[in-house]
Amino acid sequence: MNVIGTVGLPGSGKGEAANVAEEAGIPVVVMGDVIRAECRRRGLDPAEHHGRIAGALREEEGDDAIAARTLPLIREAAAESDREAVLVDGLRSTVELERFRDAFGDDFTLVAVRAPFELRAERLDERGRDDSDSDLEALRERDARELELGLGETLDRADVEIDNTGTLAAFRRRVREVLGVADGEASEESADGGAAGDADPDPESDTDPAAPNAGGDGS
């Protein structure tokens, strides 16, 4: 089993990479799902308490708590799929990276998805999921929280880098190359030739920004 993890700042394109994997039948495990499940277990709304509960899990179970809880989800997804790869969306810290490397050894590949601040800001503004998506200062603060958690060092330790500054078609093609997916295995591409943004469905740093450690472990 090959396990492919993705890391990138908000709006870089991690969510689109996950979409490409799903279209090719490769299971996707989102690390933020662990936090959402824990929020629900504690009777809390994930939309309001995602960041706080992620911090609580690290305090209670160690800095690699999210990765540790993700491991059985990865193995379950692999067991239920006939594909030889699983994509893990949402790495933030080097502690999480080391946990996955310890678990999967040479079968783990970390992929960094990169795009400059201005382009990421433009994509998030176009996405417009909430007011913070169009607030440049909020994005800078969000980046700072992610980097403080260790995302910058994790990006630098990636095995493969994908530059997402071109067209959507070019980005999706490069993702398929990294996943080892032939063009015919993926569903038809969108006709939109724009650059690929980040679906980023529920990043921890989007919610509960005042909470400690509110910078990671979303998707």
Q: How far apart are the first and last CA of the chain?
A: 22
Summarised one tens digit per residue, pLDDT across range 167-188 is: 999 999 999 999 998 776 654 4
The single residue listed with the structure tokens 């591409």 is 189
Q: Where are the domains of the chain?
A: 2-31+84-189
Closest CA to 9 of 177, 206, 190, 212: 206
Pairing of the two strands 2-7 and 85-89: parallel
Mean pLDDT for 32-41 is 96
Residues of the chain above pLDDT 70, percent: 80
Largest CA distance in the chain: 47
More confident residue, 30 or 200: 30
Fold classification of 2-31+84-189 is Rossmann fold (3.40.50)
**Helix pair angle (65-80, 46-61), 10° resolution:** 110
The model's pTM is: 0.81
Residue 214 has pLDDT above 70, yes or no: no
| CA gap 161, 163 in Å, rounded | 6
* Residues 169, 55: Cα–Cα separation, whole Å: 37
Which helix H or strand E contains 48, and what residues bound it? helix 46-61
Note the Cα 167 to chain centre separation in Å. 20
Strands 2-7 and 28-30, how do they pair? unpaired
Tokens linked to 99: 């946990």
Which residues define the annotated binding site for ATP? 8-15
Residues that constitute the known binding site: 8-15
Give the gyration radius of the chain's Cα atoms.
16
Please list the residues that pair with 163 across neighbouring strands: 114
| pLDDT band of 217, cuts 50, 70, 90 | very low
Average pLDDT over the chain reads 85
Q: Where are the alpha helices (DSSP H) in 105-167?
A: 117-127, 136-149, 151-156
- Give the pair of three-digit tokens for residue 125: 């503004």
pLDDT at 201: 42
* Closest C-alpha to 2, from 96, 98, 111: 111
| pLDDT digits 0-9 by tens, 43-97 | 999 999 998 999 999 999 999 999 999 999 999 999 999 999 999 998 999 999 9
Structure tokens at 111: 């992929």
